[in-house]
Amino acid sequence: MTVRIELGGIVLDLLPGRVAYRPDTATLFVADMHLGKSGAFRAHGVPVPESSASDLQRLASITKKHDAKIVVVLGDLLHDRNTLRGELGSQIQKEVSEFPLPIHLVPGNHDLHTKDLASLDLTIVSEDGDMEGLRLRHKPDPNSTSPMLSGHVHPVAILGTRGGPHLRTRCFHAKNEVMTLPAFGSFTGGFEINWNDGALFASGEQEVIPLNPDAKEMSLGTTQDPR
Protein backbone atom coordinates (compact mmCIF):
# COMPACT_ATOMS: atom_id res chain seq x y z
CA MET A 1 0.00 0.00 0.00
CA THR A 2 1.24 3.45 -0.97
CA VAL A 3 0.36 6.61 0.99
CA ARG A 4 -0.08 9.91 -0.84
CA ILE A 5 0.76 13.13 0.99
CA GLU A 6 1.20 16.80 0.21
CA LEU A 7 4.33 18.64 1.33
CA GLY A 8 4.16 22.38 0.84
CA GLY A 9 1.80 21.96 -2.10
CA ILE A 10 3.89 19.20 -3.73
CA VAL A 11 2.28 15.77 -4.01
CA LEU A 12 4.46 12.82 -3.00
CA ASP A 13 3.79 9.10 -2.80
CA LEU A 14 5.45 7.23 0.06
CA LEU A 15 6.23 3.80 -1.35
CA PRO A 16 6.91 0.42 0.22
CA GLY A 17 10.63 -0.25 0.32
CA ARG A 18 11.62 3.13 1.84
CA VAL A 19 11.27 5.28 -1.28
CA ALA A 20 9.37 8.49 -2.05
CA TYR A 21 8.00 9.23 -5.51
CA ARG A 22 7.02 12.56 -7.03
CA PRO A 23 4.47 11.72 -9.74
CA ASP A 24 4.44 15.05 -11.59
CA THR A 25 8.15 14.71 -12.41
CA ALA A 26 8.42 10.88 -12.31
CA THR A 27 11.26 11.18 -9.79
CA LEU A 28 12.18 8.60 -7.15
CA PHE A 29 13.92 9.75 -3.97
CA VAL A 30 15.98 7.56 -1.64
CA ALA A 31 18.42 8.29 1.16
CA ASP A 32 21.34 6.64 2.91
CA MET A 33 22.04 3.59 0.78
CA HIS A 34 25.51 3.16 2.32
CA LEU A 35 26.78 0.94 -0.48
CA GLY A 36 29.83 -0.99 0.67
CA LYS A 37 28.94 -1.02 4.36
CA SER A 38 28.63 -4.79 4.49
CA GLY A 39 32.09 -5.00 2.90
CA ALA A 40 33.44 -2.78 5.67
CA PHE A 41 31.93 -5.18 8.23
CA ARG A 42 33.61 -8.15 6.55
CA ALA A 43 36.93 -6.32 6.47
CA HIS A 44 36.70 -6.18 10.26
CA GLY A 45 35.92 -9.90 10.54
CA VAL A 46 32.12 -9.70 10.79
CA PRO A 47 30.66 -12.43 8.53
CA VAL A 48 27.79 -10.66 6.74
CA PRO A 49 26.66 -11.08 3.11
CA GLU A 50 27.34 -8.39 0.53
CA SER A 51 24.27 -6.16 0.17
CA SER A 52 25.28 -3.45 -2.30
CA ALA A 53 24.21 -5.34 -5.42
CA SER A 54 20.92 -6.45 -3.91
CA ASP A 55 20.08 -2.91 -2.77
CA LEU A 56 20.73 -1.50 -6.26
CA GLN A 57 18.68 -4.30 -7.80
CA ARG A 58 15.85 -3.61 -5.37
CA LEU A 59 15.92 0.07 -6.29
CA ALA A 60 15.95 -0.74 -10.01
CA SER A 61 12.88 -2.94 -9.53
CA ILE A 62 11.00 -0.10 -7.80
CA THR A 63 11.87 2.35 -10.59
CA LYS A 64 10.45 -0.05 -13.16
CA LYS A 65 7.17 -0.56 -11.27
CA HIS A 66 6.54 3.17 -11.11
CA ASP A 67 7.86 4.20 -14.54
CA ALA A 68 10.31 6.60 -12.92
CA LYS A 69 12.56 8.73 -15.11
CA ILE A 70 15.22 9.75 -12.61
CA VAL A 71 16.54 8.72 -9.18
CA VAL A 72 17.75 11.23 -6.59
CA VAL A 73 19.86 9.95 -3.69
CA LEU A 74 19.67 12.32 -0.72
CA GLY A 75 23.17 11.62 0.52
CA ASP A 76 25.34 8.77 1.73
CA LEU A 77 25.15 6.67 -1.40
CA LEU A 78 28.49 5.22 -0.27
CA HIS A 79 29.62 4.14 3.17
CA ASP A 80 33.27 5.07 3.68
CA ARG A 81 36.33 6.62 2.09
CA ASN A 82 37.55 3.32 0.63
CA THR A 83 34.24 2.01 -0.73
CA LEU A 84 35.30 2.50 -4.36
CA ARG A 85 38.66 0.76 -3.92
CA GLY A 86 39.40 -2.86 -4.76
CA GLU A 87 37.11 -5.54 -6.17
CA LEU A 88 33.99 -4.32 -4.36
CA GLY A 89 34.61 -0.78 -5.56
CA SER A 90 34.89 -1.94 -9.16
CA GLN A 91 31.65 -3.87 -8.77
CA ILE A 92 29.81 -0.83 -7.37
CA GLN A 93 31.15 1.42 -10.14
CA LYS A 94 29.95 -1.08 -12.75
CA GLU A 95 26.48 -1.44 -11.20
CA VAL A 96 26.01 2.32 -10.90
CA SER A 97 27.06 2.84 -14.52
CA GLU A 98 24.63 0.12 -15.64
CA PHE A 99 21.73 1.38 -13.54
CA PRO A 100 18.70 1.78 -15.84
CA LEU A 101 18.00 5.43 -14.91
CA PRO A 102 20.10 8.58 -14.39
CA ILE A 103 21.18 8.95 -10.75
CA HIS A 104 21.53 12.36 -9.13
CA LEU A 105 23.38 12.54 -5.80
CA VAL A 106 23.21 15.17 -3.09
CA PRO A 107 26.52 14.23 -1.40
CA GLY A 108 26.24 13.27 2.25
CA ASN A 109 28.90 13.34 4.93
CA HIS A 110 30.02 9.80 4.04
CA ASP A 111 30.18 10.57 0.31
CA LEU A 112 32.29 13.68 0.84
CA HIS A 113 35.06 11.58 2.41
CA THR A 114 34.99 8.94 -0.32
CA LYS A 115 38.01 8.70 -2.58
CA ASP A 116 37.27 8.67 -6.32
CA LEU A 117 33.64 9.83 -5.96
CA ALA A 118 34.01 11.59 -9.32
CA SER A 119 34.59 8.21 -10.99
CA LEU A 120 30.93 7.26 -10.57
CA ASP A 121 28.59 7.71 -13.51
CA LEU A 122 26.12 10.09 -11.86
CA THR A 123 25.23 13.78 -11.52
CA ILE A 124 26.20 15.70 -8.38
CA VAL A 125 23.53 18.04 -7.00
CA SER A 126 24.58 20.70 -4.51
CA GLU A 127 23.27 20.68 -0.94
CA ASP A 128 20.16 22.87 -0.86
CA GLY A 129 19.66 22.33 -4.56
CA ASP A 130 16.17 23.07 -5.86
CA MET A 131 14.29 20.60 -8.05
CA GLU A 132 11.12 22.23 -9.34
CA GLY A 133 10.17 23.78 -6.02
CA LEU A 134 11.52 21.01 -3.78
CA ARG A 135 14.64 21.66 -1.68
CA LEU A 136 17.07 18.75 -1.55
CA ARG A 137 19.45 18.28 1.37
CA HIS A 138 21.28 15.46 3.06
CA LYS A 139 20.93 16.87 6.57
CA PRO A 140 17.43 18.19 7.30
CA ASP A 141 16.96 21.87 8.04
CA PRO A 142 14.19 22.06 10.68
CA ASN A 143 13.75 25.77 10.01
CA SER A 144 13.01 25.37 6.32
CA THR A 145 10.09 27.48 5.09
CA SER A 146 9.87 25.68 1.76
CA PRO A 147 9.19 21.97 1.12
CA MET A 148 12.31 19.87 1.64
CA LEU A 149 13.36 16.24 1.31
CA SER A 150 16.33 15.00 3.32
CA GLY A 151 18.06 11.96 4.77
CA HIS A 152 20.94 11.48 7.25
CA VAL A 153 18.84 10.77 10.35
CA HIS A 154 17.76 7.18 9.54
CA PRO A 155 14.42 7.69 11.35
CA VAL A 156 12.76 4.77 13.12
CA ALA A 157 9.60 4.48 15.20
CA ILE A 158 8.94 2.18 18.14
CA LEU A 159 5.75 0.12 17.98
CA GLY A 160 4.51 -1.50 21.17
CA THR A 161 5.22 -0.76 24.81
CA ARG A 162 8.37 -0.01 26.75
CA GLY A 163 9.30 -3.02 28.83
CA GLY A 164 6.97 -5.20 26.79
CA PRO A 165 6.84 -6.52 23.25
CA HIS A 166 7.93 -3.83 20.82
CA LEU A 167 9.28 -3.42 17.32
CA ARG A 168 11.56 -0.88 15.67
CA THR A 169 10.43 0.06 12.20
CA ARG A 170 12.02 2.40 9.70
CA CYS A 171 9.78 5.33 8.95
CA PHE A 172 9.23 8.49 6.97
CA HIS A 173 9.20 11.51 9.29
CA ALA A 174 7.49 14.76 8.31
CA LYS A 175 7.47 17.91 10.40
CA ASN A 176 6.47 21.34 9.14
CA GLU A 177 7.94 21.60 5.62
CA VAL A 178 10.55 18.84 5.99
CA MET A 179 10.23 15.17 5.07
CA THR A 180 13.10 12.91 6.20
CA LEU A 181 13.33 9.60 4.39
CA PRO A 182 14.17 6.28 6.06
CA ALA A 183 17.56 4.76 5.29
CA PHE A 184 17.34 2.62 2.15
CA GLY A 185 20.44 0.52 2.79
CA SER A 186 20.06 -2.97 4.23
CA PHE A 187 22.87 -2.56 6.79
CA THR A 188 21.91 0.69 8.50
CA GLY A 189 20.91 1.56 12.04
CA GLY A 190 18.28 4.08 13.05
CA PHE A 191 17.47 7.04 15.26
CA GLU A 192 14.24 6.85 17.23
CA ILE A 193 11.75 9.66 16.53
CA ASN A 194 9.40 10.70 19.33
CA TRP A 195 5.86 9.53 18.60
CA ASN A 196 4.52 13.08 19.06
CA ASP A 197 7.21 14.86 17.03
CA GLY A 198 5.55 15.19 13.63
CA ALA A 199 4.02 12.66 11.25
CA LEU A 200 5.40 9.11 11.24
CA PHE A 201 4.76 6.64 8.42
CA ALA A 202 6.03 3.08 8.91
CA SER A 203 7.83 1.89 5.79
CA GLY A 204 7.73 -1.86 5.23
CA GLU A 205 8.58 -3.89 2.16
CA GLN A 206 4.90 -4.36 1.24
CA GLU A 207 3.12 -1.30 2.59
CA VAL A 208 3.40 2.13 4.17
CA ILE A 209 1.23 2.80 7.24
CA PRO A 210 0.40 6.16 8.86
CA LEU A 211 1.27 5.57 12.51
CA ASN A 212 0.14 8.58 14.50
CA PRO A 213 -2.58 11.27 14.32
CA ASP A 214 -0.28 13.72 12.49
CA ALA A 215 0.41 11.12 9.79
CA LYS A 216 -3.26 10.24 9.39
CA GLU A 217 -4.13 13.92 9.05
CA MET A 218 -1.39 14.43 6.46
CA SER A 219 -2.46 11.45 4.33
CA LEU A 220 -4.44 12.26 1.19
CA GLY A 221 -5.28 8.63 0.54
CA THR A 222 -3.84 5.20 -0.16
CA THR A 223 -3.43 3.03 -3.24
CA GLN A 224 -2.22 -0.48 -3.89
CA ASP A 225 1.42 -0.60 -4.92
CA PRO A 226 1.91 -1.85 -8.51
CA ARG A 227 3.13 -5.43 -8.70
Which residue would you say has higher pLDDT here, 141 or 50?
141
pLDDT at 108 over 60: yes
- On the question of pLDDT at 52 being above 60, the answer is no
- CATH number for the domain spanning 59: value is 3.60.21
* Per-residue pLDDT tens digits for 144-186: 999 999 999 999 999 876 666 678 899 999 999 999 999 998 8
| Model confidence pTM above 0.85 | yes
* Tally of domains in the chain: 1
Q: Quick one: pLDDT at residue 6?
A: 97
pLDDT at 225 over 80: no
Which residue segment(s) compose the domain that 62 sits in? 2-223
DSSP string, the chain: -EEEEEETTEEEEEETTTEEEETTTTEEEEB---BTHHHHHHHTT------HHHHHHHHHHHHHHTT-SEEEE-S-SB-STTTTSHHHHHHHHHHHHT-SS-EEE---HHHHT-TTGGGSSSEE--TTEEETTEEE-SS--TT-SS-EEE-SS-EEEEEE-TTSSEEEEEEEEEETTEEEPPB-SSS---EEPPTTSSEEEEE-SS-EEE-SHHHHHHEEEEEPPP-
